[in-house]
Amino acid sequence: MKMESEQIIKTEEGFELRLRPRPTTTLNFGIPLEVLTSLEKVAVQRDMSVESLVRLYVGQGLRQDLSKKFADQLLERTARVLTRYVHSPEEVSTILREIQAERVGTFETVFA
């Protein structure tokens, strides 16, 4: 693992972004040439390197998956608590379906 040095980036608005160094490692994997070509085109449009674009995509996907996992765990805990206080299984199911419907709406808003 290597540690990258701290980066300070100034935005167009005059803000300073301080990127803290984190331990990194190198991955080697194959991807289809068409995918690499597409990544290169998108990277040029976004004015970033292909490596940075891949990091961005991995980070976005990882955050989305971790967020969904957390929400699923929270829903499971909520179901356990509800069954202790609400004695009607149908009512518990109704409440959980309503929570899930709200959650799906939130995910669609956040990740759209």
Residue-wise pLDDT for 84-107, tens only, equals 999 899 999 999 999 888 876 655
Q: How do the domains of the chain map onto residue ranges?
A: 2-111
Q: Which residues contact 75 (CB under 8 A, 6 or more apart)?
A: 96, 99, 100, 103
Position 47 pLDDT exceeds 80: yes
Of 29, 20, 22, residue with least CA distance to 54: 29
Q: Which residues contact 46 (CB under 8 A, 6 or more apart)?
A: 53
pTM comes to 0.64
Distance CA 91, CA 35 (A): 48
Instruction: Provide the token pair at 112.
Output: 């759209």
